């Protein structure tokens, strides 16, 4: 639980919003409402954006910071998250009103955008979780997750994070238990993540997905068991992403990079989400760092990362006073 410290000034909350990868992604069917039924395994990693929430004395939502090409304003998902929570609080009569619901949101983007890593969803989740504390709304985790589903299918997972099997449209979550019976857990994995300079449209990938011609589906249950056992061979022996061949068909250069990556790594490589990010699991942190170092001149961003047990990290559980 977050400890709130009141020092007489405006309050500032600094959070880490963690990226995710898909250890497995299957699409089962297209629903009449246009959404797709999925069965996938989501895993938080220690690559994260910094999200700063500063309470301000006017009823206003301000957005700024190093946004790395993301929109700044009402079309931004974090702005939508703040507006959604403020509206929900007004309707439900939660917390204080008026100027107490003013906030200045500053983003320091580290997660590549539109990369299959859930960066926008992670930032929105951090805003919801942080403002719930900053505005003293006392919404439960289940309430936050239900509210966050209005912003996107990945946002509920990003609030809790860790490792989860997601079904339905991606919002029906079963979490891998953590140590001591805690909800959040994660298999201890060392990954090398590569995000090439290729623009992929998620909507176009799903539009081009023809499930009638999809003869192969990954064994999600086996990968889930591999996560429970922290068994790398079981995970990589059965993982898969049904969107991968669709994206590769749309962007053949991505498939060539995947093959080059796999040849260099000597381990299986998989695409995260609808792409373009690719990743592999290495046996230890040294191997991951060495592989990442060999890829520094590749056309994109390379990261040596680890799995992480939560989605939104409050960084010491402390709310500090702003100088302004």
Residue 184 lies in a domain: no
Residue 21 lies in a domain: yes
Share of the chain above pLDDT 90, in %: 77
CATH number for the domain spanning 36: value is 3.30.230.10
Q: pTM score, two decimals? A: 0.90
Domain that holds residue 114: 3-176+310-321
Catalytic residues: 20, 154
Same domain, 250 and 154: no
Same domain, 151 and 251: no
Note the pLDDT of residue 188: 95
- Contact between residue 29 and residue 211 where contact means Cβ atoms under 8 Å apart: yes
Residue 170 lies in a domain: yes
Note the pLDDT of residue 177: 87
Note the pLDDT of residue 185: 76
Per-residue pLDDT, averaged over 141-167, amounts to: 96
Q: How confident is the model at residue 206 (pLDDT cuts 50, 70, 90)?
A: very high
Concatenated DSSP letters of 94-120: -S--GGGGEEEEEEE--SPTTSSS-HH
Note the pLDDT of residue 93: 57
Same domain, 148 and 283: no
Same domain, 168 and 213: no
Residue 106 lies in a domain: yes
Same domain, 196 and 169: no
Q: How confident is the model at residue 200 (pLDDT cuts 50, 70, 90)?
A: very high
Same domain, 58 and 122: yes
User: d(Cα 156, Cα 122) in Å, to the nearest integer?
Assistant: 9
User: d(Cα 222, Cα 182) in Å, to the nearest integer?
Assistant: 23
Residue 270 lies in a domain: yes
Burial 72-106 (b: 16+ CB within 10 A, else e): eeeebbbbbbbebbbebbeeeebbeeeebbbbbbb
Q: Cis bond leading into 276, ω under 30°?
A: yes
User: What DSSP character marks residue 59?
Assistant: S
Is the pLDDT confidence value at 324 over 60?
no
Q: Which has the minimum average pLDDT: 55-64, 147-156, 247-256, 282-291?
A: 55-64
Residue 182 lies in a domain: no
Q: Cis bond leading into 49, ω under 30°?
A: no
Concatenated DSSP letters of 138-163: ---HHHHHHHHTTT-TTHHHHHH-SE
User: d(Cα 23, Cα 42) in Å, to the nearest integer?
Assistant: 6
Note the pLDDT of residue 57: 78
Which residue is associated with the tokens 């505005």?
135
- What average pLDDT does the structure give for the chain? 89
pLDDT in tens, 223-279: 999 999 999 999 999 999 999 999 999 999 999 999 999 999 999 999 999 999 999
Same domain, 126 and 273: no
Q: What total of structural domains would you count in the chain?
A: 2
Concatenated DSSP letters of 163-202: EEEEETTTTEEEEPP-GGG-S------EEEEEEES----H
Residue 34 lies in a domain: yes
CATH number for the domain spanning 288: value is 3.30.70.890
Same domain, 126 and 227: no
Which residue is associated with the tokens 């796999």?
262
User: d(Cα 104, Cα 127) in Å, to the nearest integer?
Assistant: 11
- Straight-line distance from the first to the last Cα atom of the chain, in angstroms, rounded to the nearest whole number: 26
Q: How confident is the model at residue 4 (pLDDT cuts 50, 70, 90)?
A: very low
Share of the chain above pLDDT 70, in %: 87
Same domain, 168 and 22: yes
Per-residue pLDDT, averaged over 143-160, amounts to: 96
Same domain, 50 and 124: yes
User: d(Cα 100, Cα 229) in Å, to the nearest integer?
Assistant: 46
Q: How confident is the model at residue 65 (pLDDT cuts 50, 70, 90)?
A: confident
Note the pLDDT of residue 316: 47
Residue 11 lies in a domain: yes
Using CA atoms, how far residue 44 sits from 284, 295, 297, 306, in Å, is 18, 23, 26, 9
Same domain, 266 and 145: no
Burial class of residue 3 in the structure, from the number of CB atoms within 10 Å of its CB (0-12 exposed, 13-18 middle, 19+ buried): exposed
Same domain, 248 and 315: no
Is the pLDDT confidence value at 174 over 90?
yes
């Amino acid at each position: 639980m977050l400890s709130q410290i009141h020092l007489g000034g405006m309050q500032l909350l600094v959070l880490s919003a963690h990226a995710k990868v898909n250890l497995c992604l299957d699409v089962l069917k297209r629903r009449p409402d246009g959404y797709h039924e999925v069965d996938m395994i989501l895993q938080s990693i220690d690559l994260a954006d910094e999200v700063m929430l500063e309470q301000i004395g006017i009823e206003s939502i301000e957005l700024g910071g190093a946004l790395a090409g993301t929109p700044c304003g009402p079309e931004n998902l974090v702005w939508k998250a703040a507006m959604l929570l403020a509206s929900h609080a007004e309707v439900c009569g939660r917390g204080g009103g008026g100027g107490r619901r003013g906030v200045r949101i500053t983003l320091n983007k580290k997660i590549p955008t539109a990369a299959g890593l859930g960066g926008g969803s992670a930032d929105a989740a951090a805003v919801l979780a942080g403002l719930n504390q900053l505005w003293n709304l006392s919404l439960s985790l289940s309430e936050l997750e239900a509210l966050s589903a209005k912003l996107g299918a990945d946002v509920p997972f990003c609030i809790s994070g860790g490792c989860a099997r997601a079904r339905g449209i991606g919002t029906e979550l079963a979490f891998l238990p953590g140590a001591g019976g805690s909800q959040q857990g994660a298999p201890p994995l060392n990954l090398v993540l590569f995000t090439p300079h290729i623009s992929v449209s998620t909507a176009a990938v799903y539009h081009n997905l023809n499930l009638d011609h999809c003869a192969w589906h990954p064994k999600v249950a086996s990968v889930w068991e591999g996560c429970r056992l922290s068994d790398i061979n079981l995970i990589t022996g059965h993982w898969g992403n049904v969107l991968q061949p669709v994206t590769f068909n749309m962007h053949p250069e991505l498939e060539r990079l995947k093959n080059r990556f796999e040849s260099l790594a000597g381990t299986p490589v998989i695409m995260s989400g609808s792409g373009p990010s690719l990743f592999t699991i290495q046996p230890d942190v040294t191997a991951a760092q060495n592989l990442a170092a060999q890829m520094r001149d590749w056309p994109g961003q390379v990261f040596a990362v680890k799995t992480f047990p939560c989605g939104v990290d409050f960084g010491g559980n402390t709310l500090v006073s702003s100088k302004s």
